Amino acid sequence: MSPLSQLVLSRIREFLREPAAIFWVYGFPLVLAFILGTAFRNRPVESIKIDVVVTDETRAEGEKLVARWKEKDPRLKVELNSEADALDRLRTAKTSLVVTPDPAASARYRTVADDNQPGSVLAKAAADVLILREANPDAKVPEATQAVDQSGGRYIDFLVPGLIGTNLMGGGLFGVGFLIVDMRVRKLLKRYLATPMRKSDFMLSIALSRLLFTLIEIALLLGVAHLPAPVGFGLTVHGNWLVLGLLVLLGGGCFAGVGLLIASRVRTLETASGFMNAFMLPQWLVSGVFFSSDTFPAWLQPLIQLLPLTALNNGLRAVVNDGAGFEALLLAPGGHWTGVFFSPLVVLGAWGGVGFFGAIKLFKWR
Amino acid sequence: MSLAIRVAGLTKTYPANPPVEAVRGVDLEVKTGECFGLLGPNGAGKTTTLEILEGLLEPTGGEVEVLGGRWDKNERDLRERIGISLQETRLSDKLNVGETVALFRSFYKKGIPAEEAIARVSLQEKVRAFVDKLSGGQKQRLAIACALVGDPDLLFLDEPTTGLDPQSRRQLWDVIREFKARGRTVLLTTHYMDEAEKLCDRVAIIDHGKVIALGTPNELILQLGGEHVIDFTLDGSAAHVTPEVLQSVKSVRSARPTPDGGFTLTVSDPPAALPALLELLRTQGAKLAGLTTRHATLEDVFVNLTGRQLRDAD
């Protein structure tokens, strides 16, 4: 067998014989997707909690009011309480709004809301509509149709491309950088150097085995997410598969280059871990893996958009969720950091290029 | 006889402040078919010299010729023709013995089948065992199988038996002897003098980056002026028993005190020296606590040359 195939075969064997590695590479992203996807599964608002203030004399009238309102808005959960009790329940978030019938008030009702409670805003809006409709029985409210809960717009649709990007980053750094530093620490690199083995065969074997592991990883993640609920999430790739593949190659190659650069001189696993964490940790946070990077302040955006994981995640999301084709490679994020310089092709190409060329200059086999 | 290795004026200086002169002018010639040993304490420059010969380190100065070629011109050809076992290589734990040797076999254009390399180091029964399940001696034998699988003309072994138990060491010696019996050349480093005596045709003793003695083990021992050694210790002190006085005893070639308060004498004729020594001690009123006689070893050669014991020489 040729040295290249023997080297690739050895990498595959080593990987398959390390059950922990298999879990962290293949199992963990699936578990993460499942847990987060389920936890943040979009649900329609089930109930709107409102307390109506009544006294013993007005209780009967209050009950009629509740019956009328519930007919118009079935999401309502109304309780009748004394004013003191109702306000206390609002303070402890047991209810979202306190409504007091008051014929003297201009709208014939007074409401107390708690602006710190997201549900309170919703309840106020719902109560306002009901009160207005009572005052003007002919008033019409526009019908709402469900739009968000379609494939492409849910949290899981946001999450899966982010997880693919994160996996490519971890795979490139650990699967290339850590692997090589480990071999250097074990003097295995030096031992290989003492044979007629071609250095290009060695490097190529790492690239090929990485490619294989990555493709399995992504197929698994996309495949499971594609399955219908409750196992998967019915996720579909709306855009061009070829572009998705190109983005995966570009991202994987970029992070492999960075991994190689980190590995070119480092002589201990601790130093390698330090470099890799310094590179990965900020990107896990700001590059839009779990939540959109738009949440960070505007002045930070140019920096964030120049990070490889941000560019990769943007591109992946454009293809998976927005149905993008080849334009995803040159996609420029909006705002004041527009321009092709921030596109996946340029950002990933630049990081990867710096990584590989730096590694060629700096790499030491000993 | 043709030369497998020729080294002239070899130096290696590591940049530091002050610069570390690991090798300070080494000249060596290793003949084809011999087993040559580089001996010396830790830090003497053995491994640095060896790695320059293996083409893994650039020399600072001097000439190196290996199998008639030079590392800067014939690297690919030389790599095909030499086998190497480094001081400590941790091969992949999750590959088994057979897979590991097959991987190394694939690097060489020609060589022996992996099974044969494994058989030569007697690891047939462990072909399917993962590397992390092997004992220290088995791992070392596997390392040598990886060095043998390219069917090299020249084998470099850096401290092949350090840290191994006596039985594993003997097994490795057999592997090396068998390789040499095929007319191939071996260059090894060791800090075990007994290993060099039993295995090597010629040895070079290296200390502080220089060759301080060169020859067959026997020649070096004969250079002591006597191939027998008398070690003795005294009961209580005897101020008048000094190396100078002892050197005057019949057939004693050299005398030196040992750290435990005794003395070591090299003698050419023990039957003549012993009665004279006992007579001297009696007249000086010294009481013997213990006395042994033995053949001189390379250890004695090293101590004689450097005034230091080999094991605590670093």
pLDDT digits (tens, 9 = 90+) for B67-83: 999 999 999 999 999 99
Distance from CA of B252 to the nearest CA of A (A): 49
CA distance A347 to A257: 13
Confidence at residue A102, expressed as pLDDT on a 0 to 100 scale: 86
Structure confidence by residue, pLDDT tens digits, B76-135:
999 999 999 998 888 999 999 999 999 999 999 999 999 999 999 999 999 999 999 999
- Report chain B's terminal Cα–Cα distance, integer Å: 37
Q: How confident is the model at residue B222 (pLDDT cuts 50, 70, 90)?
A: confident
Confidence at residue B42, expressed as pLDDT on a 0 to 100 scale: 82
Q: Are B151 and B186 in contact (CB under 8 A)?
A: no
Confidence at residue A146, expressed as pLDDT on a 0 to 100 scale: 61
pTM, to two decimals: 0.80
Q: How confident is the model at residue A7 (pLDDT cuts 50, 70, 90)?
A: very high
Percentage above 70 pLDDT, chain B: 97
Size of interface A-B (CB pairs under 8 A): 66
The continuous run of DSSP H or E covering A22 comes out as helix A19-22
Give me the residue label for tokens 């005052």: A135
A17, A186, A195, best to mutate vs chain B, most B CBs in 10 Å: A195
Distance from CA of B87 to the nearest CA of A (A): 9
Confidence at residue B221, expressed as pLDDT on a 0 to 100 scale: 85
CB of B86 less than 8 A from some CB of A: yes
- For the record, the structure tokens of B95 come out as 């590959």
Q: What crossing angle do the helices spanning A199-226 and A155-172 adopt, rounded to 10°?
A: 160
Q: Which residues of B touch A197 (CB under 8 A)?
A: 107
CB of B158 less than 8 A from some CB of A: no
Q: Is the pLDDT of residue B314 over 50?
A: no
- For the record, the structure tokens of A169 come out as 């980053």
* Domains (range + CATH), chain A: 3-40+151-362 (no CATH), 48-135 (3.40.190)
Q: Which residues of A touch B92 (CB under 8 A)?
A: 10, 14, 188
Collapsing DSSP states into helix, strand and coil, what is residue B86? coil
- Residues 164-203 in B contacting A (C-alpha not used; CB under 8 Å): none
Mean pLDDT (whole number) for B20-24:
92
Q: Which residues of B touch A1 (CB under 8 A)?
A: 102, 106
Confidence at residue B313, expressed as pLDDT on a 0 to 100 scale: 44
Percentage above 70 pLDDT, chain A: 94
Give me the residue label for tokens 């097994």: B171
Mean pLDDT (whole number) for A82-96:
90
Q: Is the pLDDT of residue A151 over 70?
A: no
Of B76, B84, B106, the CB nearest to A6: B106
Q: How confident is the model at residue A45 (pLDDT cuts 50, 70, 90)?
A: low
> Residue B63: left if φ>0, alpha if ψ -120 to 50, beta else—which one?
beta
Structure confidence by residue, pLDDT tens digits, A154-179:
888 889 999 999 999 998 998 899 99
Confidence at residue A145, expressed as pLDDT on a 0 to 100 scale: 66
